[in-house]
Each structure stands twice: as structure tokens, then as C-alpha cells.
Structure 1
Amino acid sequence: MTNVLVTGGAGFIGSHLAASLLEAGHTVTVLDPLDPYYDLRIKTHNLERCREIGGDCFQFIDGSITDEELVHSVVSSHDIEVVYHQAAQAGVRTSVENPKKPHEINTTGLLTLLLAADEHGVHRFVNASSSSVYGEVEYLPYDEDHQTVPRSPYGVTKLTGEHYCRLWNEIYDVPTVSLRYFTVYGPRMRPNMAITNFTSRCLNGDPPIVYGDGQQSRDFTYIDDIVDANLSLLETSDCDGEVVNVGSTRTITIEELANHVIAETNAAVGIEYADAREADARHTHADVTKAGELLDYEPTTGIRDGVSQFVDWYRSNREWYEPLVFASRAGESSPSQTS
């Protein structure tokens, strides 16, 4: 049994990871400020699920990673051995509109955690990074040696975080690894993402809205594969100081994705097109050779099977989830198609 801290553990990826750790018998502490970036009822639902699974092995602490005193207290008082740092101010376009918030959380907050990890002897620090660090495409698929020229403040903060983790490994001997996630999706995902919005609109007889010409392509990664990559880091130390891609290895255009959702929902609709959105990458595609070598990682769920599973989940959870999707759509004129 390992004492694990999951920052951002009330969110989509963090809650799936926390639940899997609890199912494996570990003690999990979640630190999350419950930021209303999207409807808090989703985060409350995520936490309730973790409590049901973990019982006394689960604890939730309402607080921010930018609170230095709180972070040190949590790491020391809970004897934290492994940190899974999933907390972040997500959203490429959100960062363009307000660059200061992602810097404060994604950079300053990360530094606070790394300082605590060093002072209190954390055995492993896993940092959630993003394919947004790549930016401009030199070649595809991206391997970890590809140039990193982020196109948004969000991508810059994620790249900065990777460098801090590398330095903490080299200078302070904190075992760190950064996992570069490629657009993650699945049950309980953020309600303002493309797959969620396509599914919601199609089930209600509305056309999915594609921004741009629809030929931009994405490497969508199913949540179970992301969790598996993270859990493997409890067993290996071969990747200290490394950055590692975690993707599906296969791509789909946004237009193809919309058509697939239409087919899965049996919707009698076509696609509606709108203006392209600023700062979105044109293409993403992960080379996961390194993840296979270091983490024995092999993605198991392709985008078409994953979308089918998500649509089934959406239908089964429509009563509580769909109103939150509607609320998100009302508050954001252009749902994200990336991260």
C-alpha cells in the first residue's frame, strides 16, 4: 500500500486515476480547490465515487496547490510517497484570454509541489504535461525529440513545468517524470470538449459544430490508457527525469469524428461549420515508442471504440450529466476541440 497524493483529483483525469489507485488498495489524498472552470456538480460526483470506492483510505482536501503552507502540511502529515500532479488550469483558448491564471497554477503551483516533494522525501513525482508543448509541426508523429514551440500560454506553462521537473530530478534528486497527454476523453470528461458536445447535440437532433474546415486531426487518448500509463509508474524507476508521450498512436480528423458520432447516435443531422479558433494546433499525433520501452505502454482503445463507449455512458448518465453540458455550452461560444 502506497500513500498517494493526487492534485486536481476532483477533475476528469485525476478522479479516474484516484479511483483506480483506491481500487488497487492504495491510500489516496486528493487536493483540489474545486475551481468552477466547469460545473462543480461533475467534480462533486467524481469525489463521491472515490469515497464509495476508498472509504477510510480516501481523503479530500479543499485547497490550492498555490497555497504553500497547505501543500507542505498535506505532504508531510499524510506521509505522501507518490505525487500524481494532475491539477492545472486547462484550456488553450482560456489561456489566450487570461494568461496569468495558467501561469499561477501551472507554473507557480508546480514549483510549490516540487519544493514540498524535495523537503519531505517524496519517492516519485509524476507530472501531467500535454501535447500542447509541441505546437508547430516539424514532422509527424511527434516523438519526444520533436521541437517544442507552443502556440498558447497554456502550452508554455506545460513546457516550463517539464523543465522544472527535469531540474528537480537532476539537482535535488527528486524522481520525476512528465507524461505528455494527447487529448484525453472518456466518461465524466469536461463538458466543453468536442466529443461531449457532438454527442449531446446529436442526441438532441442538433448538428455538431466543427470549427474550421474539419480537416485538423487529433490523437485522442481514452482515459483508461492514460490511467494505465500512470499506474505503471508505481513499479518502474527507469524513466526518472524523462518526458514521455502518452497517446493512442492513431489519428482522426474532426470532421470524421463528427460523422462517427452522428452514426453512433443515429442522428438525422449533418455537420455545421463555423470559423476556426485561434491557437488550436492543426494536427497532433503521438509516437509512443518511448512509453512502450519505459512503461510497457500499449494503448488498447481506438477512437471509434472509445466514442462508442462514451456514447453508451452518456446515454446511461444522461439525466444528471446532460444539464451540465447544456450549462457549459450556454457559457462558452466555442467548445474546445483539443485540450
Structure 2
Amino acid sequence: MRILVTGGAGFIGGHLAESFLADGHEVTVLDNFEPFYAEGIKRHTLSVHREVAEEADAEYRFIEGDVRDVETVQKIVADADVVVHQAAQAGVRESVKNPRKVTDINVDGTVNLLEAAKEANVKRVILASSSSVYGKPHSLPYEEDHPTEPVSPYGVTKLTQEHMARVYTELHGLPTVCLRYFTVYGPRMRPNMAISNFVSRCVNGEQPVIYGDGQQTRDFTYVDDVVDANRTLLESDAVDGEVLNIGSSDNISIQMLAETVRDQLAPGLEIVYESAREADAEHTHASVQKAGELIGYEPSRTIAEGVGEFIEWYQANREWYEPLVRAS
């Protein structure tokens, strides 16, 4: 199968492309190296792709380009059977600082992609959405029919992507699926996330920092589970035109997360508290019942298990990964 992964040098997109290559698919990665975090992590991801492609004897192509470039998007989508759309301006706080940029990339870029996919009659477009579309919780865990009241420009752009995808399915018969990811983590994760920050600081004997009182809760999703959901959707039409939560069905307070990491790596450290960050969600917790019923999705790890695995990976890869984390 010919698969296009936009944002394929990034954290989630990189793992998806790696998995697709290992399965022997023909994979094209599009990425513009948006400098939201250290480019070296993305360069490392591309080297992993090349190694996996060689081992699997799979065809691999990397294109440095932007989803806002209509001509580039039309050209590469025309060669794809399935498009896995991960490209986005990430970051809730970044979107508060620069709402125009996040709208240009996340909304206009997605429209470019959907238009090209419609013209090329691709088999399916799988889009990365976010738990940020929910905003303030009316009830937890979030089910897919929970009100969507995003509290950041980032969340608004992700909700807009979902509506655009739905419209292209209803008006043009383009098969689309939107996956609402709940704070994904794992090897090569973005360095500006809570887990990687806590681990980095603790292994270097520095106090972990919590923004707010630590009572915020998060549903953290191990990246392998996101990969499994996307792999299933390469072939399954069971949720075309739908949105699905992809989470762990577990959640943990930021306080407990910091303590878990601290206790494993540096028990003597005291936790530091600073002012809460603007537009951060207070709580997230996914119901994955719909994904379980329709595509057999089942989280593979509890948060505690996944964090333990990430700590082991961090320590094994510290030589190359840590300088990039601490530079971001």
C-alpha cells in the first residue's frame, strides 16, 4: 500500500511511518521541520526510517515541504492510497501566542490535503485530532458525544479539522476518520511535555517543576497504541466519517506523575511549583468504548507501565536524546 504520512518526521508521525515501513508498505513522509522543538530529534527519526526501510526492503521517500503549499500537496497526495495526516502546529500555549499561524497550518493545510485527496480519490484520510477539542469537562471520562468547547486556539483548529473532514465525507464521499489523541508519549517524544521534562530534570538532579497545584489530571496514551489504531484503519472502513477517542482509559494527576518519576530516579528531590500555564486543560480522561467496539482498540499499558518504559528508553538513549531535550 502507498501511504503518505504528513508530519512524518515528528513524534507520532515518525512512529507511524516507522511501523508502516516495517510492515512493508511504500511510505512517503512530508515534513517542513517546523522549529517547535529540536530538529535533531526529527533528523534522528528520519535515520530510523531509512534503516527500517532497508531492513524491510520497503520503498521510502522523504520530502521536505509544507501542507500549506498547494502544489506540493497535490503532487504527493496523487501518488497515495491512504493519507495519514499528522502535520500540525502543535502546542496549546504556542497557539495562544500565535493563533494566526496555528490556523494557517492546521486549518488551511488540512483543507489543501482534503481537496487533493478528493481529486485523487484516495482510499482513506486518517486525521490526527486531539482531546483539546473537548475543553471544559461536563462529565468524565469524555465520550465522543461530549460537548466540544475548546479553550485554546489549538483546540479550535483541531475541531475545525474534524468538521472539514466530516463535510468532505458527506459532500464528496471521501472516506475520513478523525482520531482524538489524548496526550501521547513514548520514545522520541517532544521534549516540552510533562513526562520528558520530569525525567530529564530528575536524571540530572534538578527539581521537577509543576505548573499549577498538581491536581490537574491527564490521560496519557502510549505511542504504540496510537500506531495500532492507525494500522487498523489502513484497511478498516468501520469508522469512515466518524471521530474516535484514542487514549489509555486511565488517568493520573500531574502531582502523582511527578512523584512517580521522582521516586524512581531521584527520591531526595523536592518538587517545585510555579504558576499554572494559560489555556491548559484542567482534566482529561478518555472513554475508549467506541474505539473498542468498532475497531477492537484496547490500550496496551497503564500509565505507570508506560512511564516506566519511557524512563528505561530515556536512560538507554540519553547520549543523543538528552542534549536535544535540554536545548529545547
TM-score range normalised by the length of the shorter chain: over 0.9
Matched with 2:85 is 85
Aligned mates of 1:213, 1:142 — CA distance in 2? 23
Percent of residue pairs bearing the same amino acid type: 59
Aligned mates of 2:7, 2:123 — CA distance in 1? 20
CA RMSD of aligned residues (A): 0.8
1:100 equivalent in alignment to 2:104: no
> What is the deviation of 1:295?
1.2
Q: Which runs of 5+ in 2 are unaligned?
A: none
Matched with 2:242 is 242
Pairs within 5 Å for 1:218-237:
218-237=218-237
Aligned mates of 1:152, 1:211 — CA distance in 2? 17
What is the TM-score normalised by the length of structure 1?
A: 0.95
> What is the deviation of 1:305?
0.7
Matched with 2:278 is 278
Aligned mates of 1:181, 1:75 — CA distance in 2? 24
- Give CA-to-partner distance per residue, 1:116-155, whole Å, 9 cap, x none: 0000110000000000000011000000000000000000
Aligned mates of 2:256, 2:37 — CA distance in 1? 27
User: Could you tell me which amino acid in structure 1 is paired with residue 281 of structure 2?
Assistant: A
> What is the deviation of 1:266?
3.7
> What is the deviation of 1:267?
3.8
Moved over 2 A (4+): none
Matched with 2:116 is 116
> What is the deviation of 1:59?
0.5
Pairs within 5 Å for 1:297-316:
297-316=297-316
Matched with 2:8 is 9
> What is the deviation of 1:325?
1.4
Pairs within 5 Å for 1:19-58:
19-55=18-54, 57-58=59-60
8 Å Cα contact 1:205/1:268 also seen in 2:
no
Q: Which runs of 5+ in 1 are unaligned?
A: 329-339
Aligned mates of 1:267, 1:43 — CA distance in 2? 32
> What is the deviation of 1:211?
0.6
> What is the deviation of 1:302?
1.0
Aligned residues: 325
8 Å Cα contact 2:205/2:266 also seen in 1:
no
Aligned mates of 1:112, 1:6 — CA distance in 2? 15
8 Å Cα contact 1:203/1:267 also seen in 2:
no
8 Å Cα contact 1:123/1:175 also seen in 2:
yes
Specify which of 68, 71, 85 is matched with residue 70 of structure 2.
Answer: 68
> What is the deviation of 1:308?
0.7
What is the TM-score normalised by the length of structure 2?
A: 0.98
User: Could you tell me which amino acid in structure 2 is paired with residue 54 of structure 1?
Assistant: A
User: Could you tell me which amino acid in structure 1 is paired with residue 228 of structure 2?
Assistant: D
8 Å Cα contact 1:184/1:221 also seen in 2:
yes
User: Could you tell me which amino acid in structure 2 is paired with residue 5 of structure 1?
Assistant: L
Q: Secondary structure at 1:141's aligned position in 2?
A: coil
Aligned mates of 2:24, 2:182 — CA distance in 1? 28
8 Å Cα contact 2:13/2:86 also seen in 1:
yes
